[in-house]
A and B are shown apart, each in its own frame.
Chain A
C-alpha cells in the first residue's frame, strides 16, 4: 500500500514565523503535490513537483515555497506565516505521466491543520 505521511496533524504558529510542513511517500512516486483546503473553496493546488529539484506553481503559490531535495520528500515552506494561511494542508503523490499523458491516481496524506495566531 502507498503510504504518504505528513510531519504533523496539528500545528499552531505565530504570525511572522517560518513554518515547514514535511511530506514523505514510500512508493517511489515521481509526482508530489501540496494542496490547501478551506471551507467553501475545496482543495486548491499550491505547488507540485515532478522530479527532484523540479517544481511548478499551482493555483495559489503566493506566500509559499517548496523544496524537493530527495525523491521521497516534499516540503512546503511558509516564509512568514500569516493568519490567512490558517488552513488544512494536504500532501499527495502519484506516478509520473508526462510523456504518455496517462493519468494516475493521487494518494493523499492525512493532512496538517495549521493555525496561525
Chain B
C-alpha cells in the first residue's frame, strides 16, 4: 500500500506570498491528484497529473516520478486560497485497484490579509 506524506501539516502565509505544499509517496503511481477542501466539506479537484507540470491560474503543480514527489505552488496568495489541500495518488496497477486513491492527511493553509 502506498504511503502518502504531505508537508507542512499547517501553513500560515501573508497575502501575496508564494506558497509551496509538498507531497511524497512510496510506491510507483499512474497519477497524482491535488484536491482542495474548503470549510464546510466540499472537495474540488485541482489537478491530475502523471508527469511534468500543470498550471491553472495562480496554481502550479509539478511531479517528479523518479523522486516520487510532487509540489503544489500558489503564486500571489489570497485569503480565498485558505483551505485544506490534499494530495492523493492512484496506483499503477490496472484493474479494480487502479480506481482507488490513497490520500495524504492534508495541509491546512491560512492566508492572512
Contact = CB atoms under 8 A, between A and B. Distances in A.
A103 B45 contact: no
A41 B96 contact: no
Interface in A81-113: 88, 90, 92, 94, 97-101, 103, 105-111, 113
A98 B40 contact: no
Contacts of A92: 43
Looking at chain B, what size class is its interface with the partner chain? 20 to 34
A42 B98 contact: no
Nearest to B1: A59
B50 interface: yes
B21 to A, nearest CB: 14
A48 B88 CA distance: 16
B86 interface: yes
A43 interface: yes
Contacts of B48: 103, 105
Contacts of B103: 42-44
A42 B106 CA distance: 7
Given A41-B105, A98-B94, A90 B99 contact: no
Interface string B17-60: 00000000000001101010000111111001010000000000
Contacts of B96: 50, 56, 98
Contacts of A111: 40-43
Interface of B: 30-31, 33, 35, 40-45, 48, 50, 86, 88, 90, 93-96, 98-101, 103-106
The list of the 6 closest CB pairs from A to B, nearest first, reads A111-B41, A101-B94, A108-B43, A103-B31, A42-B105, A43-B103
Interface of A: 9, 31, 33, 40-45, 48, 50, 56, 58, 88, 90, 92, 94, 97-101, 103, 105-111, 113
15 contacts: A33-B99, A42-B104, A43-B88, A45-B100, A48-B100, A58-B100, A88-B41, A97-B98, A98-B95, A98-B96, A101-B95, A103-B90, A105-B45, A109-B42, A111-B40
